C-alpha cells in the first residue's frame, strides 16, 4: 500500500473535496482521509438555495456530486479516523488503521453539534432526540416536534421539519439569532410556533416531556437540538495550533504556525460559515501548494 503522498487532506466535506479537485488538476498526488461520511454537515441541509449554479439542491445531492467528480478523476478517499499528526522532516498523519507520510497537510474537519448537557439527553439520543432534521425528520411525519435553538441552523431545521411534522415548536432561550430572511420566512409558516424557555431535563414515557427551568412542560414526539457547534480539531491539540475555543489558528494564507500544515473550512474560527467560503479557502490553499 502506498502511504506517501504529496498532500494528505483530513476531512471529506466540501472544503476537503475542493482542495482535492484543485490539487488533482495541478497534477499533485493527494489522498482524503474521512472518519465518517462524505459531505460533512452539508448532508444535514435539505435545501441549499445559495449555491451558485443551482436554484435549489439538497446537501446530500451536492455531496454525492462532488464525491463523484473527484473519484472519477482518480482521487483516493479512505474512510479512516485521523488520531494524530506528527511533524519531523516529513509530516506523518496517523489513523486508527495506519500511517501516511506527506509534505503537506490540509485539515478540513469542520465542526460537530454541541450538546445541551442536561439530564436525559444522552439516554434519549437516537430515541427521540436528534441533531439532524434531514437525517431523522422523516421519522416524525404527521407528528409533533420541538426544535431547540434560535440560530440559522435551528430555523432551517424547523422550516424543513414543518413540511413533514404536524406541528413544530421552536424553543429558544433568549432572542432570535437567525438571519432576518429566515426569521421572515419562518413566521409565515402556519404550523410553526415559538416558546421561550430553557431546557432543564428530558423525560420519556410514551412521548418525550421537556421540562424547562421555569417549570413548564412541553410534550412532543421528537426533539431536534441546534445550539451551536464544536470544531473537530482536538486530534491536533498537541501541535499547539488551537485557540482557546478549540478552533485552528492560521495566518492570512490559511497556514498554521507549522510550515506545510494548513486548515480550511469550518474548523477555523471566523465570522461566516458558508459552503462557498469553505470551498474558496480550500482552492486558495491548493493553489498555494501547487506554487511551492
Q: State the cell numbers at 233.
A: 480539531
Rounded Cα distance between 12 and 222, Å, is: 30
pLDDT at 89 (0 to 100): 84
DSSP letters for 115-156 = P---BTHHHHBTTTEES-HHHHGGGGTTSEEEEE--SHHHHH
pLDDT along the chain (292 residues), means of 10: 89 98 98 94 78 90 97 97 94 95 98 92 90 86 98 94 97 95 97 97 94 96 94 96 97 97 96 92 98 94
Rounded Cα distance between 225 and 173, Å, is: 12
Rounded Cα distance between 59 and 27, Å, is: 28
How many CA atoms within 13 Å lie on the side-chain side of 128? 21
Tell me, yes or no, if the pTM score tops 0.75: yes
pLDDT at 2 (0 to 100): 66
Amino acid at each position: 500500500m502506498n502511504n506517501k503522498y504529496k498532500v494528505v487532506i483530513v476531512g471529506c466535506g466540501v472544503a476537503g473535496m475542493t482542495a482535492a479537485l484543485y490539487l488533482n488538476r495541478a497534477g499533485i498526488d493527494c489522498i482524503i482521509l474521512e472518519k465518517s461520511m462524505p459531505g460533512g454537515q452539508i448532508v444535514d441541509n435539505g435545501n441549499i438555495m445559495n449555491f451558485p449554479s443551482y436554484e435549489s439542491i439538497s446537501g446530500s445531492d451536492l455531496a454525492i456530486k462532488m464525491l463523484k467528480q473527484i473519484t472519477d478523476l482518480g482521487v483516493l478517499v479512505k474512510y479512516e479516523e485521523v488520531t494524530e499528526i506528527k511533524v519531523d522532516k516529513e509530516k506523518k498523519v496517523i489513523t486508527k488503521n495506519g500511517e501516511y507520510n506527506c509534505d503537506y497537510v490540509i485539515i478540513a474537519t469542520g465542526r460537530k453539534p454541541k450538546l445541551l448537557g442536561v439530564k436525559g439527553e444522552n439516554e434519549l439520543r437516537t430515541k427521540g432526540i436528534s441533531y439532524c432534521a434531514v437525517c431523522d425528520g422523516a421519522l416524525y411525519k404527521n407528528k409533533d416536534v420541538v426544535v431547540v435553538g434560535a440560530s440559522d441552523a435551528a430555523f432551517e431545521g424547523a422550516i424543513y421539519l414543518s413540511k413533514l411534522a404536524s406541528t413544530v415548536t421552536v424553543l429558544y432561550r433568549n432572542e432570535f439569532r437567525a438571519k432576518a430572511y429566515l426569521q421572515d420566512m419562518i413566521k409565515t409558516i402556519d404550523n410553526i410556533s415559538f416558546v421561550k424557555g430553557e431546557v432543564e431535563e428530558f423525560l420519556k414515557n410514551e412521548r418525550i416531556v421537556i421540562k424547562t427551568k421555569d417549570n413548564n412542560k412541553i410534550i412532543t414526539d421528537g426533539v431536534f437540538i441546534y445550539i451551536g457547534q464544536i470544531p473537530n480539531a482536538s486530534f491536533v491539540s498537541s501541535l499547539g495550533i488551537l485557540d482557546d475555543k478549540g478552533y485552528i489558528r492560521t495566518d492570512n494564507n490559511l497556514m498554521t504556525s507549522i510550515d506545510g500544515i494548513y486548515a480550511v473550512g469550518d474548523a477555523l474560527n471566523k465570522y461566516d460559515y458558508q459552503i462557498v467560503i469553505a470551498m474558496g479557502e480550500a482552492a486558495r490553499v491548493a493553489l498555494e501548494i501547487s506554487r511551492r
